[in-house]
C-alpha cells in the first residue's frame, strides 16, 4: 500500500509529582502503564486505569489528566481542543488522520488502513480534480507530498507508519548540519536535519496528550531531529538520539531488508552500551514498554533487549525489578550490552546484506 518509514525514537519524559494526600484517601494513576498502552496504539484499556472511586481524592495533576483524556477518548466524538489547537494550512488533511487515529486507537481489533487509504484517495481526487480511479495506492505518496509542499511545509516525504498506524509528521522550518558520531570503534559523519515549528507530531503525540512523541528518525541519507525534544549538550541527545539514530543510519545502509524490531534492538543496545547518566532510566523505560506481542518495533525490541541482558546478568528470562538493575555497575551493563550487539553484528555479517530474520523468531 503506502510507503513505510522507520525508526521513530519515542521520547519518554515522565515526571510523577508528589501529592500531599493520605494514601487511603487518594488515588494515584499508573502513568507508566497508561502511556505504555497508548504508545502501543491501545487506548481503551488505558481508560480503565483512570476509573476511580468517586469518594477518593485526586491530585490536581491527576484530575486534569483524567478530564483531558476523557474529553479526547471517552465519548463518541473527540471533545478536546486538539484540532482547534492544531489549525493550519493542512487542517483538512489533518482531520482525516485524526479520524483514522481515533478509531484505530479505540478499536485495537480492527484494521482501518484500507478504509483510510480510500478516504485519502477521495480527498486527493477532489483536491486535484481527478477521477478517484486514477489515484492508486502506490500514487498516494506522490499526491501527499505534492499537497504538503504546495502549502510551503515539510514532511517525511511519503505516508508511512509509526508502529501500526499511518502517521502525520509535518513541520514548518528546518536547518541542516553535520555531526560526527562515535559508536565504539565505528565513526560516521552524517547530515542531521533539525526540524522545528511542528504542526503535527503524529498519533503518539495525540494518544498521549502531547507527553510522548517522535524525537527523530533515520533514512539512508540523513538523520532527522525534532529540535525541541533535546538539549543538544545532554546524554539524551548525544546517545539516545545521535547514538541510536546513528546506528539506524549505518544499519539501513548495510542491511536494507532488516525488520523494524531488529533495527530498534540494535539501536537500543547501542544506547545501553554507551549511556552513563541516563542508563538506569533507559532500562526502566525499556522494562515498562516491553511487549513481545506488540506490532510496534520499539516495544518488541525493548522486550528482547531486557531479555538478552537478563540472561547474561541475572540468569533469568526477564528481570523486571529495577532495584536489581541498580545494583549492577553501569560499566558492567555497558560491557554486556556491547557484547550482545557485537554477537548480533557477527550474525548479520554471516547472513549477508539481505538479512530479514527477526529477533522475534
Are 146 and 272 found together in one domain? no
Are 15 and 135 found together in one domain? yes
Q: Residue 354: its pLDDT value, please?
A: 56
Q: What per-residue string of b and e applies to 201-217 under the rule 16 or more CB within 10 Å gives b?
A: bbbbbbbbbebbbbbbb
- The residue assigned the cell 511542528 is 198
Are 208 and 295 found together in one domain? no
Q: Which three cell numbers stand for residue 304?
A: 528482547
Are 210 and 286 found together in one domain? no
Predicted TM-score (pTM) above 0.95? no
Q: Residue 261: its pLDDT value, please?
A: 94
The domain tally of the chain equals: 2
- Domain membership of residue 221 (yes or no) is no
- State the number of CA atoms in the 13 A half-sphere of 37 facing the CB: 17
Q: Which domain holds residue 134?
A: 1-170+197-214
Helix (H, G, I), strand (E, B) or coil at 180: strand
Residue 301 · residue 264 · CB < 8 Å: yes
Are 259 and 132 found together in one domain? no
Q: Residue 111: its pLDDT value, please?
A: 97
- The residue assigned the cell 509528521 is 169
Residue 213 · residue 226 · CB < 8 Å: yes
Residue 209 · residue 65 · CB < 8 Å: yes
Are 208 and 297 found together in one domain? no
Number of H helices, E strands in the chain: 15, 7
Q: Residue 339: its pLDDT value, please?
A: 98
- Domain membership of residue 184 (yes or no) is no
- Domain membership of residue 228 (yes or no) is no
Domain limit, last residue, from 214, 246, 278: 214
Domain limit, last residue, from 148, 183, 214: 214
- Domain membership of residue 202 (yes or no) is yes
Residue 88 · residue 94 · CB < 8 Å: yes
- The residue assigned the cell 527523530 is 216
Q: Residue 121: its pLDDT value, please?
A: 97
Please give the chain's pLDDT, 361 residues, in tens.
Answer: 444 443 333 332 222 222 333 333 446 899 999 999 999 999 999 999 999 876 678 899 999 999 999 999 999 999 999 999 999 999 999 999 999 999 999 999 999 999 999 999 999 999 999 999 999 999 999 999 999 999 999 999 899 999 899 999 999 999 999 999 999 999 999 999 999 999 999 999 999 999 999 999 999 999 999 999 999 999 999 999 999 999 999 999 999 989 999 999 999 999 999 999 999 999 999 999 999 999 889 999 999 999 999 999 999 999 999 999 999 999 999 999 999 999 999 999 887 655 555 687 5
Q: What is d(CA 340, CA 265) in angstroms, rounded to the nearest whole number?
A: 10
Return the closest-CA partner of residue 41 out of 226, 157, 166.
166
Are 277 and 329 found together in one domain? yes
Are 207 and 328 found together in one domain? no
| φ, ψ of residue 176 in degrees (nearest 5) | -90, 140
Q: Is 41 exposed, middle or buried (0-12, 13-18, 19+ CB in 10 A)?
A: buried
CA 170 to chain centre: 15
Q: What is d(CA 201, CA 212) in angstroms, rounded to the nearest whole number?
A: 9
Tell me the per-residue pLDDT of 153-185, one tens digit each, with 9 for 90 and over.
999 989 999 989 999 999 999 999 999 999 999
Are 259 and 206 found together in one domain? no
Q: What is d(CA 200, CA 313) in angstroms, rounded to the nearest whole number?
A: 41
Q: Residue 168: its pLDDT value, please?
A: 98
- Domain membership of residue 15 (yes or no) is yes
Residue 80 · residue 206 · CB < 8 Å: no
- Domain membership of residue 135 (yes or no) is yes
Are 5 and 135 found together in one domain? yes
Residue 359 · residue 304 · CB < 8 Å: yes
Q: Residue 27: its pLDDT value, please?
A: 60
Whole-number Cα distances in Å, 263 to 238, 287, 301, 317, 359: 19, 18, 8, 22, 10
Q: What secondary structure does DSSP assign to 257-269, as a single string?
A: T--HHHHHHHHHH
- Domain membership of residue 328 (yes or no) is yes
Q: What is d(CA 350, CA 361) in angstroms, rounded to the nearest whole number?
A: 17
Are 5 and 128 found together in one domain? yes
- Domain membership of residue 231 (yes or no) is no
Q: Which three cell numbers stand for residue 133?
A: 480511479
Are 12 and 151 found together in one domain? yes
Amino acid at each position: 500500500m503506502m510507503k513505510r518509514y522507520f525508526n521513530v525514537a519515542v521520547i519518554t519524559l515522565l515526571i510523577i509529582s508528589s501529592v500531599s494526600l493520605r494514601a487511603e484517601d487518594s488515588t494515584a494513576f499508573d502513568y507508566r502503564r497508561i502511556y505504555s498502552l497508548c504508545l502501543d496504539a491501545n487506548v481503551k484499556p488505558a481508560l480503565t486505569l483512570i476509573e476511580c472511586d468517586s469518594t477518593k481524592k485526586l491530585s490536581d495533576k491527576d484530575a486534569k489528566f483524567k478530564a483531558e483524556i476523557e474529553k479526547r477518548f471517552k465519548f463518541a466524538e473527540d471533545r478536546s481542543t486538539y484540532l482547534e489547537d492544531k489549525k493550519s494550512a493542512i487542517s483538512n488533511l489533518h482531520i482525516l488522520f485524526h479520524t483514522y487515529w481515533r478509531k484505530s486507537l479505540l478499536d485495537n481489533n480492527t484494521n482501518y488502513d484500507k478504509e483510510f487509504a480510500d478516504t485519502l484517495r477521495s480527498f486527493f481526487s477532489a483536491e486535484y480534480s481527478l477521477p478517484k480511479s486514477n489515484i492508486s495506492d502506490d500514487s498516494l505518496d506522490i499526491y501527499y507530498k505534492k499537497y504538503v509542499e504546495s502549502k510551503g511545509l515539510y514532511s517525511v516525504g511519503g505516508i508511512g507508519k509509526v508502529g501500526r498506524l499511518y502517521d502525520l509528521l509535518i513541520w514548518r522550518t528546518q536547518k541542516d548540519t553535520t555531526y560526527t558520531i562515535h559508536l565504539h570503534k565505528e565513526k560516521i559523519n552524517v547530515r542531521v536535519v533539525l526540524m522545528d515549528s511542528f504542526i503535527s507530531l503524529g498519533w503518539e503525540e495525540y494518544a498521549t496528550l502531547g507527553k510522548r512523541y517522535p524525537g527523530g528518525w533515520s533514512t539512508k541519507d540523513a538523520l532527522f531531529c525534532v529540535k525541541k525534544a533535546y538539549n543538544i549538550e545532554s546524554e539524551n541527545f548525544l546517545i539516545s538520539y545521535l547514538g541510536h539514530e546513528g546506528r539506524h543510519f549505518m544499519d539501513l545502509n548495510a542491511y536494507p531488508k532488516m525488520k523494524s524490531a531488529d533495527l530498534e534492538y540494535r539501536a537500543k543496545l547501542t544506547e545501553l552500551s554507551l549511556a552513563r547518566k541516563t542508563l538506569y532510566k533507559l532500562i526502566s523505560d525499556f522494562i515498562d514498554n516491553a511487549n513481545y506481542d506488540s506490532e510496534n518495533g520499539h516495544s518488541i525490541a525493548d522486550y528482547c533487549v531486557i531479555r538478552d541482558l537478563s540472561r547474561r546478568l541475572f540468569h533469568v528470562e526477564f528481570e523486571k525489578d529495577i532495584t536489581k538493575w541498580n545494583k549492577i555497575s553501569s560499566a558492567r551493563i555497558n560491557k554486556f550490552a556491547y557484547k550482545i550487539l557485537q554477537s548480533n553484528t557477527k550474525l548479520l555479517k554471516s547472513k549477508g546484506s539481505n538479512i530479514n530474520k527477526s529477533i522475534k523468531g
